[in-house]
Amino acid sequence: MDAPMPDPSLYCVKAILILDNDANRLIAKYYDDTYPTAKEQKAFEKNLFSKTHRANAEIIMLEGLTCIYRSNVDLFFYVIGSQSENELILASVLNCLYDAVNTMLRKNVEKRALLDNMDAVFLAVDEICDNGIIMESDASAVVNRVSFRSDDLPLGEQTVASVLQSAKEQIKWSLLK
């Protein structure tokens, strides 16, 4: 007898991870309570890395989860979904993340460049996926949203730090006149 199909859900992504070549976490966003503690998350990440760091495949089933991954130089990108999740959907999320990071880092996708632009990469992850729901799968749209200048924002949407920086620059220019 076939098992019943689970009800469709918008919550496709369980986690997005970027690890370095020593299995250290650089970015990790878990969207459900599959691994509720940091200790469990780290153990899962070590296990995932040990299974994928030498493989040439793009997909692995691990601990009842579908894991889509891609590596480049010294970084490993992972998108995790349930075992019944469509692999093509997860792959589109992974491709969007990788392409957005590639564009933001000007094709210099390596650990040092990622660490220097960590804030933009976190924003890209948040633009792609919100609480496990895929929000965007077009890398150019993600890059455009992440990289626009704060000068173009209305005052209500700017951060306090950017408002203070803008005020300092205006005062400086008014004193120099």
| Radius of gyration of the chain from its Cα atoms, rounded to whole angstroms | 19
Q: Tell me, what's the pLDDT at 158?
A: 56
**Helix (H, G, I), strand (E, B), or coil: what is residue 177?**
coil
pTM to 2 decimal places: 0.79
Three-state secondary structure of 122-141: HHHHHHHEECCEECCCCHHH
The CATH code for residues 13-149 is: 3.30.450.60
Q: Are 65 and 75 in contact (CB under 8 A)?
A: no
Q: Are 128 and 147 in contact (CB under 8 A)?
A: no
Q: Tell me, what's the pLDDT at 121?
A: 92
Mean pLDDT by 10 residues, the chain (177 residues): 68 94 93 93 94 87 94 92 92 95 89 90 93 92 77 56 72 71
Q: Tell me, what's the pLDDT at 24?
A: 93
Which residues sit opposite 16 in a β-bridge?
A: 29, 79
Round to whole Å and give the CA distance between 113 and 154.
30
